[in-house]
Chain A
Amino acid sequence: MELARDEYATHIAYDELLDRALQPRAAAQPLFDYLNSLHDGELAKRQQAVDATIMAMGITFTVYSEAGNIDRVWPFDPIPRVMGRKEWESIQAGLKQRLRALNLFINDLYNEQRIIKDGVFPAEVLEGSGNFRPQCVGITPRFGVWAHICGTDLVRDKDGTVYVLEDNLRVPSGVSYMLENRQVMKRIFPEVFRTTNILPVDDYPARLYQMLASLSPREGEQPVIAVLTPGIYNSAYFEHSYLAQQMGAYLVEGSDMVVGADDIVYMKTITGLQRVDVIYRRIDDAFLDPEVFNPDSVLGTPGLMRAWRKGNVGIANAPGAGVADDKVVYAFVPQIIKYYLDEEPILANVPSYQCMIEEQRDYVLANLDKLVVKPANESGGYGMLIGPRATQEERDKFAELIRNDPRNYMAQPTLEISTAPTLVDGKLAPRHLDLRPFVLQSDQLYATTGGLTRVAMRKGSLVVNSSQGGGSKDTWIVEDAA
C-alpha cells in the first residue's frame, strides 16, 4: 500500500498508525500486514464497496439547503484508526472519572453549591452560564446523576499526549455512526477480523437501554422508553431512529406525548394513552417544555418538567445538565475532579485561558495569532477563531467580541492534533482526526470501546464536524502483543 510520502515528509503532527520513521506502530502492524497483502487496486475496489454498502444501509445525515433537505451519505474512510488495549483502558478510566466528577458538580450547583462556598469555583462563572437552569434548582435526580450520556472529544498533541477537548453533555450525537462503521468494516474486510483481535463495540445499545431502564420510576415493571426527536428535519434523525430501533424503544416527537393533570407523561397510541417511564431526549433544554422554557417551542411537550420534578418520568440527560458543558466551566474540570473525588485527573485538559480574568484576557488579546478562541456555549465547531489560520480582520473582530463579553470566551494554545493514514486518490495521506467516546452513567459507569473517530477529509483541515465536511473511520481497540 503506497504512502503519500510527500505529505508525510513535511509532517509534524503525531500519526496514530505510523512512527516518525513511517513504520507501523505495534498496534497497527497486523493492519499494515493485511493492507500490504492486498493487490494493487484492491483497496480502491473495497472503497467502492464501502460507498455502495453505506448507500444500501441508508446511513445518512441530513444537510439543509435551499433545494430542500437532502440525506447525504456519511463520508467514511476504510483505513481504521487503531489503538492498543492498554492505552485505551487508561483513557477509559479517565473518562469515567471525569463524568463521575462532572455529575457531582452539576448536582452540587443545583443544590448546596458547596464548591462555590469553598472558593474552588467562582460564582461569576455560574452567573454567566447560558446553560444553568434556575428551574432545576433543588432537584436531585435518581442516583444524583444529571448527565447520563456524555460524548467526550479527545485529541492527541504532537508529543503523544491525549487531551480532552470538550465534554458534550447536552445531546451528544454520533454513536450510531460508531456502530455502523464497524458493521461496514466487517462486510468489506472480513479477513482482517479473523487475524486481528479487535474488541467489539456492539454492546452499546444494550448498555444504553439498561441505563435508561434504571431511570424508570416504576421499579419492577417493564419500562416504556421513548426516544424524543425533533423530527425528520433534524440532522441526527437517522441516529434517533437507529437507536430507537436498536433498543426497541418508541421514537416519539413532542406532539406524540401529553402530560396529564396527574403530572404523568403519556404517549398517544392507537389504543389510547400509554404511560411513558423514561425519555431519552434528543432536543435541547430550551425546546423541551414550553410551559417552563421557550414558550414558542413546538418540538417539546408541555408539562414534561412538572412530571420530571415529581419523579414521574426519567429524562436523560436531565434538563440543566448542560451547565457543565461550557467551555469556561471546562477549564475548571481538573479542580472539580480533585474537589469531589480527591483524585488526580487521569486525562489532561488543554491549558485554557479565561477571558473573564483580566491578566489571562490580556495574554489572549496579545496572542490571538497563536491561540484558538472558543465561545462558551456553542457546539459543532461554530463561532471559533483559529488564530494562526485567521486573517488580521477576523482576529480584530474577535478581540472586539472578547472585550464586549469576556465571560463568554476562552482560549487555548493551538494543538497540532494527530493524524492517521487516510485513503486519498489511491494513496495513504495523513489527515487530522479526533475521537469521541461515549460514556454512560446511572447506578453504573460504562464507556464505549473506542468511540467515533472523526476525520477532516480535506488536506490540512482541522475541522472534523460532519456538518462541515468531516468524515469518519472505524476505531479499533486491539489486544496488545504479548
Chain B
Amino acid sequence: MMLARVAENLYWMARNLERAENTARLINSTTHVLLDLPHGATFGWANLAEIAGLDDLFAKTYPEANEESIMRFLIEDEANPSSIFACVKYARENTRTLREVLPAEMWERINSLYLYVRKNAQAACSNRRERYMVLNEVIQQRHAIVGLFSGTMPHDDAYQLIKLGRNIERADMTTRILDLHSAISFPEDSVVREALVERIWMSTLESLSAYQTYRRLVAMHVRSNDAIRFLLQDMRFPRSVSHCLNEMETCFRLMPKSQQLQQLTALLRLKIAQHPTADLDAVALHEYIDLLQQQLCEIHDALMQNYFHAWQDGVPPSGQAQGDFEFAQQ
C-alpha cells in the first residue's frame, strides 16, 4: 500500500533523472553530429529545442537560437523545466519527500549530483570540451544512482514506479533523438550524402551507447532503415522503444489493478513491431515519431489516472475531498 503522493513523487523523480541523462546524451550526440557535418550541410540550433518539444518556451526568453543560447536553455536555465539543472533539482526535491521509502544513501547521491550540476552547468554552456566532460559526468553519476536503486531497493511497488518513470522517459527520448535526423538538411551530391548519412547514424547510435551493440547484433554498416528498426523494434537493446515498453509491461504486471495499462502498453509495442521501417523518408519518420510520442503520452495519462488519482473514485459522498492534488513537478 502506497500513498498516491509518494507514488507520484517517485515516478517524477525517476523521469526527471532519466530526462537529465537523456538531455545530456542528446546534447553530446548533437555536438558529435555537428563535428561530422561538411560545409554544404546546415543544422539549425533551434531544432534542438524543437526536438525536446520546447521551442515555444525557448522563443519566449531567447531572441536568437545559437549554440550558446541553446546550451544555456537546455543545461542551466531553471525556467526550462526540462533543463538538466531543473530536472536534477526537481529530482532532489522529490527525493527529500521520499527519504522514508528510499535507500538511505539515495538522498546523498542525488544531492551530490545536484551540487555537481549547480557548480559546473555554466562552464558546460560556454565551452564544448568542458561540456562533453561535464555531461559525461552527469551520465555517470546517474548510472551510479540507478545501480543503487536496483542493488539495494526491495522490488516493490515503489521500485516498479521508478522503473516505469525511467522507461517511459527513455522511450520518449529515444524517439526524440531519432527525430534529430529530420532536422538536418543534406547536401545535394548523392555520394557525399550517402557517406554523411552513415556518419550521422553512427553518431546517433553512439549517443545512445548503441553503436557497438548495433554492429554486433545488426550489421557492420549503419544504414538508416536498419538503425531506425534497431532503435524502435529491437527487444534486446535497453534503450530501444520496444524494450522500454516491454519493461513497462513487466512493471505493470507486478503492480495492482493494472489490466488496462498492461494492454495499452502491449498494444503499442505490437504496433511498433508491425510498422515497416523501410523507406521512411525524413517527413514520414517525423510523422511516425510524433504518433509514437502521442501514444506514450496516453500511457502516461492512464498511469497518472490509475495510480495517482484513483482515490478520487472512492471518496464517500459529500466527503471533503481537496481538489488541490495536482502537482506541478515537471
- What residues make up the interface of A, taking CB atoms closer than 8 Å to B? 56-58, 231-232, 237, 241-242, 244-245, 250-253, 255-256, 258-262, 264, 266-274, 291, 298, 302-303
**Is B313 an interface residue when CB atoms closer than 8 A count as contact?**
yes
Q: Would A270 and B157 be within 8 Å (CB), given that A241-B100, A291-B320 are in contact?
A: yes
Chain A residues near B157: list those with CB within 8 A.
270
With CB as the reference atom, state the residue of chain A lying closest to B255: A270
Q: A245-B99, A252-B3, A302-B322 in contact; A271/B310 too (CB < 8 A)?
A: yes
- A299 to chain B minimum Cβ distance, whole angstroms, is 12
Chain B residue, CB-CB nearest to A254: B322
State whether B311 touches A258 (Cβ < 8 A).
Answer: yes
Question: In the complex, what distance in Å separates the CA atom of A252 from the CA atom of B2?
Answer: 11
* Interface flag for B317 (CB, 8 Å): yes
* Distance between Cα atoms of A270 and B314 in the complex (Å): 12
The verdict on B321 contacting chain A, using a C-beta distance below 8 Å, is yes
- B310, A270: Cβ atoms closer than 8 Å: yes
The reply to whether A58 and B1 contact each other, CB–CB distance below 8 Å, is no
Contact B317 A261 (CB under 8 A): yes
By a beta-carbon cutoff of 8 Å, the part of chain B in contact with chain A is: 1-5, 7, 93, 96-97, 99-100, 104, 107-108, 157, 255-257, 307-308, 310-311, 313-322, 324-325
CB-nearest residue of chain A to B96: A232
* B108 touches which of A56, A256, A266 (Cβ 8 Å): A56
With A241-B99, A262-B316 known, 7 other A-B pairs at CB within 8 A are A258-B319, A270-B157, A270-B310, A271-B256, A272-B314, A273-B311, A302-B320
Question: Which single residue of chain B is at the shortest CB-CB distance from A57?
Answer: B104
**What B residues does A231 contact at CB under 8 A?**
97
How far is it, in angstroms, between the C-alpha of A272 and the C-alpha of B310 when the chains are bound? 5
Q: Please state if B99 and A259 are interface contacts (CB–CB under 8 Å).
A: no
Query: B residues within 8 A CB of A255?
Result: 5, 322, 324-325
Q: Are B313 and A272 in contact (CB under 8 A)?
A: yes
The one of A245, A256, A302 in contact with B100, judged by C-beta atoms closer than 8 angstroms, is A245
B311/A269 in contact, CB under 8 A? yes
Write out the residue numbers on chain A whose beta carbons fall within 8 Å of the beta carbon of B104. Answer: 57-58
Given A259-B320, A269-B3, decide whether A58 and B107 contact each other with a Cβ distance below 8 A.
yes
When distances are taken between beta carbons in the complex, the residues of chain B under 8 Å from A259 are 319-320
Cross-chain contact of A232 among B7, B97, B314 (Cβ < 8 A) = B97
**Docked-complex contact A256 and B3, CB < 8 angstroms:** yes
Q: Using Cβ atoms and an 8 Å threshold, which residues of chain A touch B314?
A: 266, 272-273
Give, as a whole number of angstroms, the nearest-CB distance from B13 to chain A: 14
Q: What is the CA–CA distance of A291 and B318 in the complex, to the nearest angstrom?
A: 14
- Bound Cα distance A267, B319 (Å): 13
Which one of A56, A264, A272 contacts B311 once the chains associate, using CB atoms below 8 Å? Answer: A272
Task: Provide 11 A-B residue pairs closer than 8 Å at the C-beta atoms, listed in order of the A residue.
Answer: A56-B108, A241-B100, A242-B100, A244-B100, A255-B322, A256-B4, A258-B319, A258-B320, A262-B316, A266-B315, A270-B7
Report the Cα distance A298→B97, complex, angstroms. Answer: 17
Q: A58-B107, A271-B256, A271-B257 are in contact. Are A251 and B318 (CB under 8 A)?
A: no
By a CB distance below 8 angstroms, the chain B residues around A262 are 316
A-chain residues with CB within 8 Å of residue B317 when the two chains form the complex: 261
Bound-state Cα–Cα, A58 to B318, Å: 43
The distance in angstroms between the C-alpha atoms of A180 and B322, with both chains bound, is 36
> Are the C-beta atoms of B5 and A253 separated by less than 8 Å?
yes
Closest to B111 in A: A58
Which residues of A have CB within 8 Å of B318? 261
| Interchain CA distance A252-B97 in the complex, whole Å | 10
CB distance from A274 to the nearest CB of B (A): 6
Residue of B whose beta carbon sits closest to that of A274 = B1
Complex contact A268–B320 (CB within 8 A): no
Residues from chain B with a CB closer than 8 A to the CB of A251 are 100
Residue of B nearest to A240 (CB): B100
A261–B316 CB distance below 8 A: yes
Contact partners of B108 in chain A: CB under 8 A: 56, 58
In the complex, what's the smallest C-beta–C-beta distance from B11 to chain A, in angstroms?
A: 10
Name the distance in Å between A231's Cβ and chain B's nearest Cβ.
8
**CB-based contact A268/B311 at 8 Å:** yes
**Would you list the 9 A-B pairs with minimal beta carbon distance, nearest first?**
A260-B316, A268-B311, A302-B320, A245-B100, A260-B319, A273-B314, A270-B307, A272-B314, A268-B4
Shortest distance between the CB of B323 and any CB in chain A (Å): 10
A472 CA to B83 CA, complexed, in Å: 41
Q: What is the bound-complex CA distance between A256 and B308, given in angstroms?
A: 11
A280 to B7, CA, bound (A): 22
Q: Quick one: closest A residue to B317, CB to CB?
A: A261
Chain B residues within an 8 Å CB radius of A56: 108
Of A232, A241, A253, most buried by chain B (CB within 10 Å of CB) is A241
Task: Identify B2's interface contact among A258, A260, A269, CB under 8 A.
Answer: A269
Q: Which of B5, B93, B97, B257 contacts A268 (CB 8 A)?
A: B5
CB distance from B320 to the nearest CB of A (A): 4
Residue on A nearest B318 in the bound complex, by CB: A261
* Residue from the set A231, A256, A271, A303 with the largest chain B CB neighbour count within 10 Å: A271
Q: Which residue of A lies closest to B313 (CB)?
A: A272
Q: Which residues of A contact B93 (CB under 8 A)?
A: 232
Please give, as numbers and ranges, the residues of chain B lying within 8 Å of A273 by CB-CB distance: 311, 314-315
Q: With a CB–CB cut-off of 8 A, which chain A residues contact B255?
A: 270
Distance to closest chain A CB from B12 (angstroms): 14
| Assembled-state Cα–Cα distance A268/B313 (Å) | 11
Roughly how many angstroms separate A241 CA and B5 CA in the complex, as a whole number? 15
Residue of B with least CB distance to A290: B320
Q: In the complex, are the beta carbons of A258 and B315 less than 8 A apart?
A: yes
CA distance A185 to B89 in the complex (A): 33
Q: Report the nearest A residue to B106, measured CB to CB.
A: A58
Task: Please give me the residue from chain B that is nearest to A251 by CB atom.
Answer: B100
Q: A384 vs B314: C-alpha distance in the bound complex, in angstroms?
A: 49
Q: How far is the CA of A56 from the CA of B105 in the complex (A)?
A: 8
A269→B320 contact, CB < 8 A: no
